[in-house]
Amino acid sequence: MVMRSFQAKLALLFVAVLVLLQTATLIAVHLAGQRTIRKSLGNELRVGSRLFDRVLDGRGRQLSETVRILSSDFAFREAVASNDEPTINSVLTNHRARINADVAMLISLDGTVVSDTLEHRITGKPFPLQELIREAAAGGEPSAFVSFDEHPYQLVVVPVVAPQPIAYVSMGFIIDERVLDDVRRLTGLDVSLWNASARNPRLISTVPPEYRDELYRRASALTPRTSDVDETVQVGGEDYQALLHPLRTEDRSRIYTLLQRSIAEAARPYHTLELQIFALSTAALIVALIAAILFARGVSRPLQQLAADAYRIEQGEYKGAIAVRQRDEIGRLATAFDRMRTGIAQREEQIVHQATHDTLTGLPNRTLFISRLASAIKWHPQAQSVAMIMMDLDRFKEINDTLGHHFGDLLLIEIGRRLSQTLPESEIVARLGGDEFAVMFFADDVDGAIAVAERISGALKLPFVLAGVSIDIDASMGIALYPRHAQDPENLLKRADVAMYDAKKNHAAFAVYETGRDEHSLRRLSILSDLRHSIERGELELHYQPKIDMRSERVVHAEALVRWRHPVHGFLRPDEFIPLAEQSGNIGVITKWVLGRAIRDCGEWNANGHDLAIAVNLSALDLFDSELPVYIGGLLAEANLAPSKLVLEITESAVMKDPAYALRILNDLKSRGVMLSIDDYGTGYSSLAHLRRLPVDELKIDKSFVLSLGNGAKDDLVIVRSTIELGHNIGLKVIAEGVEDARAWTIIRDLGCDMAQGYFVSKPLPAPEFAAWVESSRWGGAGGGA
């Protein structure tokens, strides 16, 4: 539409300018033509007028000659000489008729009219035109215009010689249409003549009789003039250029001639010229119009093409170069456009890639994975299932914390690479976020999916050597299949997630989703929302597990372990809800409740004579609470318990979150006399050198090492032994938890471990039972209750 109007505009401009110019030209030509016509008409009329005079002149001479010949007729002369009046009259009449003269007069030498043929005779009177006689006597051939009897005459006077002049004969010829016709033939002009002196002037003319009255009226309006007049007169509705030309008359009669020429007729050649110019102009206009349209089209077609291409690009279609190949500005525009197109295409590709891919590993992201999953579900082969494996790394957070984010990133990249290499046939390897990966493929059945999971597991078993550090990682994988486990991508993902958590919980490499397990995640949600109210509802309680001094084989410490008696889900272990409390920010409240209850219970035990210390686990988040040392101080004072009777157990990773801050808190606690213990030692990556800087008093070897001691695991034995030795070397007491049987007990005792904790001694017991156990057990308090 815009293009069309541009085309039209251009054409319109062309044509308007041309029309303007040509109109101006036509007007100029027309005006010049009009002027030229007037001028040339004026000239023509003046020339015509002179020609008319010449014609009359010649006619006069011719008449003179005729009359001269007549007058030399012997009989005529004889008759004239006879002096006999009747004879003279008759010879005059006769000879007048002979030469078709209209009037004849005989004049004596003294100028008296001797005889005449006029209607009103003037015989006996002097000839009215004496000058003519004198001229004739002098040998001239006088002719003059006079009026007789109302008619305009051309009159000649000729001497009658015998052989000397004996008289003069004058003959007159009425000027009639014949004369005017002659002039008209010669000049092409209409000629009119009238005697204004006459009582009833009559117009003789070459114009058609029907116009004569009108012409006479117009012409006589011009007549009191005596010289030539150039005028425009209108006759019969037509304009004429006319020249009024008074005849020089001898008798002062007013005889006028009027020469005229039709202006329209004179303009005819100009009309032809104008018509030709008009035709040429029109032709030029058409040519210009076509040229303008072609030109405009030449401009607008590539523009239209560009517009179409732009629309195409707008629609997101970037394929196909812009098809405008010109060397002009439009061509340059098109080139720029094309560059823009490829630029946009590249950027969009990049954006789409970024939107659908993980920037770190370059793997598809969750969005793309879900969409691929959707299309796989839609198009999957009938006989096959769409399988997906969700995987996350165990303790990736700790790796990140201890080895740095850069290392974590490198690890993720390498894992992505290994997954891709391991599963060349797989449809998709995606990183869903964090340390979470997903793999999608077609599998015949669950076993096929498990085979893939095993391959992945195998691939991850090899140590990762990155930035000079060699590291082993464990991953948990959840397997879910469509259509067996879910009907849509979201649910499939969720089920795989649930399966993955199962694997994690079971410390297995992978788990296949079991129908109904999905409620687990619902349970988590419910736990999360109930956690807030658990304390006020009194649903939390503490169990205590004794820690035995290996040398005295007496209970010295009790570790407080929190339990949640959930109204719906029943008895919950801390593994299940502590991470949720950490995530939801409720851990501080729980820690304070645990501390409060544990210190109070311990206060009571000590008051009852049992020399027991109480051990409480602190969450990593607790180490950010700067109020904690003061709070603990308050609790100890309240329970009248020495600070050395409180052991705070902290995991390595908790300290590593913000070591500087944690150190400050720990130092504060230490300065108050509180005992500090490193919990779950061996699962993190902190070195003993690092531990040395911490103000801790004991190390607690992670139960995973201790549990396997009973099975005779050599590796773990080495770890446990070296840990105990190293701990002792830097002045720490070492405690082993997870001691389940006598064999483990014996081993760690032989290794020189300071304390032991585990089912071999006692399971965690509620406060009253624990108190009873202390009373009754063989590990019972040293100085206690006995």
Q: Note the residues at the interface with another protein (CB under 8 A).
A: 72, 74, 77-78, 80-81, 83, 161-164, 166
Residues in the chain: 786
Question: What single-letter amino acid sits at 305?
Answer: Q
Q: What are phi and psi of 407, to 5 degrees?
A: -65, -45
Question: Which residues have CB under 8 Å from 588's CB, separation 6+?
Answer: 621, 622, 625
Least separation, in Å, of the C-beta of 67 and another protein? 15
Is the sign of the CA dihedral 763, 766, 767, 772 positive or negative?
Answer: negative
Measured CA to CA in angstroms, residue 317 lies from 189, 312, 527 at distances of: 83, 5, 50
Amino acid identity, position 496: A
C-beta of 79: minimal distance to another protein in Å? 10
Using an 8 Å Cβ cutoff, are 6 and 303 in contact?
Answer: yes
Question: Can you say whether the dihedral through the CA atoms of 685, 689, 694, 697 is positive or negative?
Answer: positive
For residue 776, give both structure tokens: 């009754």
| Cβ 166 to another protein shortest distance, Å | 6
Neighbours of 441 (CB within 10 A): 20
C-alpha to C-alpha distance for 745 and 710, rounded to whole angstroms: 9
Residue among 83 and 644 whose Cβ is closer to another protein: 83
Specify which residues 233 forms β-bridges with.
240
Minimum CB distance to another protein, residue 227 (Å): 36
**Beta carbon nearer to another protein, 83 or 487:** 83
Separation CA 521–CA 655 (nearest Å): 30
| Alpha-carbon distances, residue 570 vs 576, 582, 607, 636, 765 (angstroms) | 12, 21, 33, 32, 17
CB of 164 to another protein, least distance (A): 5
Nearer to another protein, 52 or 76 (CB): 76
> Least Å distance between CB 110 and another protein?
10
**Which one, 91 or 632, has the nearer CB to another protein?**
91
CB atoms within 10 A of CB 573: 12
Question: Rounded CA gap, 659 and 648, in Å?
Answer: 16
Q: Can you tell me the distance from the alpha carbon of 734 to that of 678, in angstroms, rounded to the nearest whole number?
A: 9
- Min. distance of Cβ 77 from another protein in angstroms? 6
Question: Is the CB of 78 or the CB of 638 nearer to another protein?
Answer: 78
d(C-alpha 586, C-alpha 688), whole Å: 32
Query: What whole-number distance in Å separates Cα of residue 520 and Cα of residue 508?
Result: 17
DSSP for 555-589 reads EEEEEEEEEEEETTTEEE-HHHHHHHHHHHT-HHH
Of residues 134, 174, 136, 171, the one with CA closest to residue 156: 171
Q: What minimum distance in Å lies between the beta carbon of 143 and another protein?
A: 21
Closest CA to 413 of 458, 363, 462, 456: 363
106 or 450: CB nearest another protein: 106
What's the min distance (Å) between Cβ of 82 and another protein? 8
For the bound state, the minimum distance from the C-beta of residue 113 to another protein, rounded and expressed in Å, comes to: 20
Q: Would you say 164 or 315 has its CB closer to another protein?
A: 164
Task: Give kind and range of the element (H or E) at residue 257.
Answer: strand 255-262
State which residue, 81 or 413, has the beta carbon closest to another protein: 81
C-alpha to C-alpha distance for 430 and 368, rounded to whole angstroms: 8
**62/72 with CB nearer another protein:** 72
Nearest to another protein of 162, 713 (CB atom): 162
Nearer to another protein, 109 or 374 (CB): 109
Three-class DSSP labels, 48-67: HHHHHHHHHHHHHHHHHHHH
Q: For 320, how many CA atoms within 13 A lie in the half-sphere containing its CB?
A: 12
Q: Based on CB atoms, which residue is closest to another protein, 75 or 340?
A: 75
Tell me how far, at minimum, the Cβ of 78 lies from another protein, in Å.
Answer: 6
Query: DSSP letter at 18?
Result: H
Q: How far is the CB of 56 from another protein (least distance, A)?
A: 28
Q: Which residue's CB is nearer to another protein, number 137 or number 726?
A: 137
User: Among residues 224, 260, 235, 193, which one has the least CA distance to residue 42?
Assistant: 260
Smallest distance, another protein to C-beta of residue 161, A: 7
